Amino acid sequence: MQAFTNTKYTKEQTIQLIQEHIEADALISGDYWNEKEKKGCHIGCLLHSVRHALSKEYYGIPELIFRLLDSIHEGLPESKRIWFFENALPSIPIGATESDFDRVWSNLAIWILTDSQYGILQYTQEDSDQYKAIKNIADLYQRKLDGESVSEEEFRTAARAASAADAASAAYAAASAADAASAAYAASAAYAAYAARAAYAARAVYAARAVYAEFWLGLSEKMISLFSDL
């Protein structure tokens, strides 16, 4: 599988499709695709369906990435959603591979967990079980980026430790991030459903904080930057 290669939509057609939906004022939130009104969210406008897995057939892009696009769209302030819709997929180069997207996800997971400005780690105590659990998962992703072989079982063990540390807050988000890694290894739709959980779970940390909107904007900018660097 390669982005925009032997897919339903070429990159040029994708950009045209995005512009058509923007011009039609079709982008909304809270609903995937309303066929009667011809309106939908980020994913709905791209797929005209609730089936994230169509991303592979339509665009040559893993379901995991589309679930993250979905999460970010719903988290962004309304004023930034069109910008994200207009720039996210077009920033992906033709021919990007599953391995490329796996690196994108690993970098995003590390950012969600440890970024100095928005990362979840900063809201834990350095000597706490939560801190250790989150740091452990971030380290596993970094090992992957460094070219090491990291087993699915290592991620699952780290996820269990994170859940045991505190299933209701920052460690829960870390556990979700670890579960999402399984999608890249197993290429399983069941695991891919967890891809967005780290981002969604971050709401437990950020919902009561003034940086909530800034977190989602920062995450969207990070994703586009990683796409552009492929």
Angle at 47 between CA 220 and CA 45, to 5 degrees: 60
pLDDT of the chain along its 230 residues, tens only? 999 999 999 999 999 999 999 999 999 998 899 999 999 999 999 999 989 999 999 999 999 899 889 988 988 999 999 999 999 999 999 999 999 999 998 898 888 888 888 887 777 788 888 788 778 888 988 999 999 988 878 877 877 776 676 533 444 444 444 444 333 333 333 333 333 444 445 555 555 555 677 888 999 999 999 999 99
Q: Report residue 124 as tokens.
A: 């834990």
Query: Can you give the pLDDT at residue 206?
Result: 56
Query: Can you give the pLDDT at residue 188?
Result: 30
- Contact between residue 56 and residue 62 where contact means Cβ atoms under 8 Å apart: yes
Tell me which residue of 183, 226, 193, 223 sits closest to 73, measured CA to CA. 223
Measured distance CA(230)–CA(218) in Å, rounded: 19
Largest CA distance in the chain: 54
CA distances in angstroms from 64 to 78, 123, 131, 164, 211, listed in the order given? 23, 26, 26, 25, 25
Residues in contact with 183: Cβ distance below 8 Å, sequence separation at least 6, in sequence order: 62, 63, 64, 191, 192, 194, 195
- Contact between residue 64 and residue 184 where contact means Cβ atoms under 8 Å apart: yes
Query: Can you give the pLDDT at residue 129?
Result: 80
Query: Can you give the pLDDT at residue 210?
Result: 56
Q: Report residue 8 as tokens.
A: 């339903």
Measured distance CA(86)–CA(165) in Å, rounded: 39
Query: Can you give the pLDDT at residue 192?
Result: 34
Query: Can you give the pLDDT at residue 49?
Result: 92
Domain ranges within the chain, ordered by starting residue: 11-91, 98-228
Query: Can you give the pLDDT at residue 168?
Result: 36
